[in-house]
Each structure stands twice: as C-alpha cells, then as structure tokens.
Amino acid sequence: QVQLVESGGGLVQAGGSLRLSCTASGSIFSINAMGWYRQAPGKQRDVVATITGGGSINYADSVKGRFTISRDNAKNTVYLQMNSLKPEDTAVYYCNADVEPTPIKLSLHYWGQGTQVTVSS
C-alpha cells in the first residue's frame, strides 16, 4: 500500500507565496511521474504541473511562470513552489504519483488527500 501526504497549504494574500510538499511512503520500488492537481468548489479537478522520473516538466498555462514543480527522489517527495498567487488559485491541491511497488514493471496511480490553498484578494 502506498500513501501520499501533502502539506504546506494555508491562507495567503494575493501576490504571496506558498510551498507545497507531498511525500510518498509505503510499498515503493520506484516512482515514475509525479504531479499536482487542484479542484475548486463546484469545479472539476485540473492538472497544475507534472514531472517525470527523468525530470521532464509540464505546466498548465494558468500557472506557467508563477509555479515551479520539483522533486527529491531520495525523499520520495514532490514540491510545488507557488509565487505571485492570485485569488483564482484558491483550491484544494492534490498530488499524485505513478508508483512501481515491485521490480516487476507495473505502475499504479495514487492520490493524496489534498491540502487547502486559499488566496485572499
């Protein structure tokens, strides 16, 4: 079993910054892609940023230039540095990871429970 735990959310004024962290634990042989998604009340969950095991990164257009995703493979952790925050960034932020639990090539998707980010105007 694999668990993902997010941290770093909170309340911040527009223009401020937050740094989110997500650490994976449990039965992990290796982790491939990791990513951050967000969901505002009454809306669907959208991708924010993803990063592969090889370091290839993709951002949603709405956050490009403001957010930075990174990872520390030794710590099984993915980060999201969020700068110049806007009220429209308010959402629950979820991390996910594609995990190989054994040396056998099988990748499974896991989700964290989310961390609330609120940006006041």
Task: Give the C-alpha separation, 65 to 68, whole Å.
Answer: 8
- The model's pLDDT over 21-60, given as tens digits with 9 standing for 90+, comes to 999 999 999 999 999 999 999 999 999 999 999 899 999 9
- The model's pLDDT over 80-121, given as tens digits with 9 standing for 90+, comes to 999 999 999 999 999 999 999 888 888 899 999 999 999 999
DSSP code per residue over 8-68: --EEEETT--EEEEEEEEES-SEEEEEEEEEE-TTS--EEEEEE-TT--EEE-TTTTTTEE
- The model's pLDDT over 16-32, given as tens digits with 9 standing for 90+, comes to 999 999 999 999 999 99
Judge whether 101 and 108 are in contact, CB under 8 Å.
Answer: yes
pLDDT at 106: 87
